[in-house]
Structure 1
Amino acid sequence: MGLDSYYNSYDYLFEHKDSIMKFFNRSINNQLGKTKATLIFYDVTNVYFETALTDLECGRQQMDFQDRLQEEVQLAYESGELDAACFDKEGRLVPGQKTDDFIKKIQAQKIEYLRMRGPSKEHRFDLPLTSIALVINEEGIPIDFYVYAGNASEFKTMAASIESLKQKYNVKESIVVADRGLNSAANLKMLQSNDLGFLMAQKVSNLDQKTTKAMFDPEGYVPIIRQGEEVARFKVVKDWTKKGKRKAEDTKCTLVLTFDKKRQKRDLAVLEVWKQLVLKKQAQGIKVKPKSSGWASIAKTSEKTEARIEGIDEETFEAKRRLAGYAALVYKNAPNCQDNDAVPDGRLAAAYHELNQIESCFRIMKSHLGLRPMYVRNSNHIKGHILICVIALGILKLLQWKLNKSGTPLTISEIIRALNSATTVPIKSGDELMFLQCSRPQNIRKGLERLSQEELKAELAKRRKQPNQLEILFKTVGLVPPARLVNLKEMGRCLGVRLTTEEAIPELIKDML
């Protein structure tokens, strides 16, 4: 089986992506004993490619672009956006005001090219990117994913993802949990129109004057006590209006203001680091552009464009110091839920903090499952590659869920380390094919780089005393770990498959013998 065959399999995966994900979700729901997700976690990341040129620079359109373009043309004709005068005898678009506006609309949708440069999550602005929107359930298991151009806006692609999710899985009366990067009045209104609730972070730096005053007012806060000490507090503001660019986008919801002492300490420490960084760059004579975030936001310059740093913007610095420790959430249940006016309880407040699960999912796919860098260029192959990574992530998360349920929890890193240790070597013993367990060389410092020699020895000694993690994995999924040396039939019994003849062994293994 050559490399081309593997690449060709990506075409099959792309073609059947929706049916594969639907089957995967049915299987997961059967395992979990669930019929619908009450909380849906949504976030977007991007991945980079091992190439310097974008699809635009290469002149490489998405494989399905012509079909999607034809669909858009047909819809525009049926809606009256384009009339018969916009087409020639062969049905091609002719130049004109209407067709020019239509082409600009298509270009704004970012559907022609996939690998494009954009704001990189990993600061790889020099390489083309592809954006991935991932949807997971409360257990951190993927429900679906969507792939967009690397220069597509997260704000604008969310509506397309949610609409597709609703159509494929009939998702409704669920709460979508997302970070503040996706919090816009238009998106909140869109979720409500799709019969979904929302729980999202809200920036406290751009609250209106009345709300900001209420946030700093200690009256009305409910303390959160741990071990007899107040560590945080929260205040609920009902019927708060999230204002949009247009009046029609305004959305009434519940605003939850929070203050956390641990967060305050961290925020103040970050500000001090920024301050020292600005002073260092001032001494170096570095120029900066005015920015609203990051260390450059507290840099003082005399120009509205790029200019030399003149020092610390004390007014901005003090405003950020005052906001240290404060955060906010906006919440509203699905429109048709009976408890629509209920104040978010501890479960919902905790639900937002579970959003870091989706960040963990992205890290797992990038670091353990080979999500990036990508080496494929065909847009169908790119989506097929992402599908494999998402399914692999789902299997890992399901395995982790089963381990937790059985009372033998393991981290994803521990699961992967245990699976990597499950290696065998095929050998011939007379006329019989045998399998000998062997171990791979391991980097014992992986994940423990900051430990001293003595601490490393203590950690490794502790691990040796723990139960064999590979045996735990076998037991959790109802299998029996093989002995050190087994024949073909015994190996099949341990793996729960039928391997009764050598013909069942791939040609690759036979070539090794």
Structure 2
Amino acid sequence: MRQRGFSKDGKHDEDQIVVAMAVDNNGIPFHYKVFEGNTADSKTLVKFLVEMQRIYKTKDTIIVADKGISQNANLRYLEQKGYKYIVQKRIDILGKEDKAFIVNDQGFVQENDYFTKSRLVQSVWAKNKNKKRYSDTFRKQFVYFSPSKQTLDKIKRQNLINKLEKKSINGELPLSALVPEYKKKYMDVDGKTFGRLNIEKIKKVANEDGFYMIETNITNIDSKEANEIYKGQWKVEEGFRTLKSAIEVRPMYVYKDEHIQSHVFLCFLSLIVLKYCIYKLKKFYKDNGEIQKLTINMFIDALKLITITTKTVNGKVVSEIENNLDPEHKELNKIYSDFKYAIDGLSS
């Protein structure tokens, strides 16, 4: 399982694994699968769904996923198996006609703080060089333009360019320091060793700032509904962030495949428990009409500050004493007290 592959953190010289995960509407994970570390995100979807279908016999499911798995082969598979899907498309790999449609000002209408337009396109079942074979089904494409996203895209790109320029020597940058996406987007590649920043490429990418596209085979929904459903994808991203930070799924100090699987299983189980606790506490506040700030880090901090001293007689607990938090941690103390109440209500 330990293989070197694409790393979003730039750790290309270290062994890694790939983990796929599914969560429910409340952000609570219910399934995961471990892949070899050199597996591309786009290659995980089919095997993951086959396993889920075998275990859960899923029906009437809407697959919501980011642009990492929005390749046409995956979408064709979803259509063949009767899945509904809402995915974000990678603008940088679209053809000229699709890009022209996206950046063309015509057809946009304002929706709250963004602008949007849509169109129906035939589902593409096969590509042979420049030839396409279409099916008799249609997909709906929504294009969104957000001024705030445009500003953020510009800042992120400029920060990256500044970082690349600092690493360059006489304008050249070793390609080993770049992920493949940046080689294609910003660089002129000289052989297999060095690259130079290409200003024209950077300008072309800048023209796409603020835009994103969502594609779905649910053709009877509008742009607002499609956007809201897709935004639920952040729950998966938050799950991965929690795995990496609070639960510390990495670094791993095990090497055999079975030990790696066991480590990931324990981390995944911890994530389920943590997410379920957060869900119960938020539901408790909602049911009681209470507004209370609550984050995963706050909940974990509250648990860390609590110590319970127990007295046992003949192996049985006869008394428990909890420490009292000082006034400085009043909010965390309240969160812990509310959590105990919510859980006691569940068990009674």
How would you bin the TM-score normalised by the shorter chain?
0.7 to 0.9
1:373 aligns with 2:261: no
**Counterpart in 1 of 2:154?**
268
Q: Does 1:329 align with 2:214?
A: yes
In structure 2, the partner of 1:258 is 144
C-alpha distance in structure 2 between counterparts of 1:423 and 1:357, whole Å: 31
Q: CA deviation at 1:437?
A: 2.6
Equivalent in the alignment of 1:359: 237
Of 182, 200, 223, the match for 1:294: 182
Match of 1:425 in 2: 309
The within-5 A match list for 1:99-498 is 114-225=1-112, 231-241=113-123, 245-246=127-128, 247=132, 252-282=138-168, 284=170, 286-289=172-175, 293-294=181-182, 297-300=185-188, 303-307=190-194, 309=196, 312-333=197-218, 341-407=219-285, 410-427=294-311, 434-438=319-323, 464=330, 468-478=334-344
CA distance in 2: counterparts of 1:439 and 1:375, whole angstroms:
36
SS at match of 1:127: coil
Work out the number of aligned pairs and report it: 334
Matches of 1:406 and 1:368 in 2, distance apart?
23
The alpha-carbon deviation at position 330 of structure 1 amounts to 0.9
Q: Distance in 1 between matches of 2:20 and 2:134?
A: 23
Q: Which amino acid aligns with 1:235?
A: K
Q: CA deviation at 1:124?
A: 3.0
Structure 1 length-normalised TM: 0.58
Shift of 1:348: 2.5
Deviates more, 1:248-257 or 1:157-166: 248-257
Task: Answer whether contact 1:278 1:296 (CA < 8 A) is retained.
Answer: no
Note the residue ranges of structure 1 that are not aligned, 5 or more in a row. Answer: 1-113, 226-230, 334-340, 443-459, 481-494, 497-513
The CA deviation string for residues 55-104 of structure 1, in whole angstroms up to 9 with x for no partner, is: xxxxxxxxxxxxxxxxxxxxxxxxxxxxxxxxxxxxxxxxxxxxxxxxxx
Please, what is the CA RMSD of the aligned residues?
3.2
Could you tell me which residue of structure 2 aligns to residue 53 of structure 1? none
Deviations 1:241-284 (A, max 9, x none): 45754556977411111110001111122233344345444554
Higher strand share: 2
Cα distance in 2 for residues equivalent to 1:213 and 1:296: 20
The Cα shift of 1:326 comes to 1.0
Deviations 1:404-438 (A, max 9, x none): 22225522112212222332234589x99543334
Gap change, CA 1:420 and 1:279, over 3 Å in 2: closer
Contact map agreement 1:220 1:235 (CA 8 A) in 2: yes
Shift of 1:145: 0.8
CA displacement, residues 148-168 of structure 1 (integer Å, 9 cap, x when unaligned): 111223222311110111121
Aligned counterparts of 1:471 and 1:291: Cα–Cα separation in 2: 47
CA shift for structure 1 position 295: 7.4
How far does residue 141 in structure 1 lie from its aligned partner after superposition? 0.9
Distance 1:283 1:159 in 2: 43
Contact 1:222 1:234 survives alignment (8 Å): yes
Cα distance in 2 for partners of 1:378, 1:280 equals: 39
Alignment-mate amino acid for residue 131 of structure 1: V
Unaligned runs of 5+ in 2: none
CA contact 1:136–1:142 (8 Å) conserved in 2: yes
Distance across 1 between alignment mates of 2:31 and 2:317: 45
Q: Distance in 2 between matches of 1:276 and 1:370?
A: 30
Deviations 1:295-344 (A, max 9, x none): 7733446x3443363xx4232121112111111111113xxxxxxx3134
Q: Within 2, Cα distance between the matches of 1:237 and 1:218?
A: 14
Whether the aligned pair in 2 keeps the contact of 1:172 and 1:195 (CA below 8 Å) is: no
Aligned partners of 2:276, 2:268: CA distance in 1, in Å?
12
1:347 match: secondary structure: helix
Equivalents in 1 of 2:309, 2:24: separation in Å? 39
Which whole-Å deviations, capped at 9, do the CAs of 1:461-498 have from their partners, x for residues lacking one?
5x536762111100111269xxxxxxxxxxxxxx98xx
Which has the higher Rg, Structure 1 or Structure 2?
Answer: 1
In the alignment, the residues of structure 1 paired with residue 317 and residue 193 of structure 2 have an alpha-carbon distance, to the nearest angstrom, of 75
**Structure 1: how far apart are the matches of 2:322 and 2:333?**
18
Q: CA deviation at 1:186?
A: 0.8
Preserved CA contact (<8 Å) 1:418 1:469: yes
Distance in structure 2 (CA, Å) of the matches to 1:132 and 1:235? 35
What is the letter of the counterpart of residue 381 of structure 1? H
TM-score, reference length from structure 2: 0.83
Distance 1:249-1:121 versus aligned 2 partners, 3 A rule: farther
Question: In 2 relative to 1, CA 297–362 (structure 1 residues): closer, same or farther, beyond 3 Å?
Answer: same
Q: What's the % identity of the aligned pairs?
A: 21
Give the AA of the match of 2:275. K
Paired residue secondary structure (2:274): helix
Q: 1:239 to 1:343 in 2, by over 3 A?
A: farther
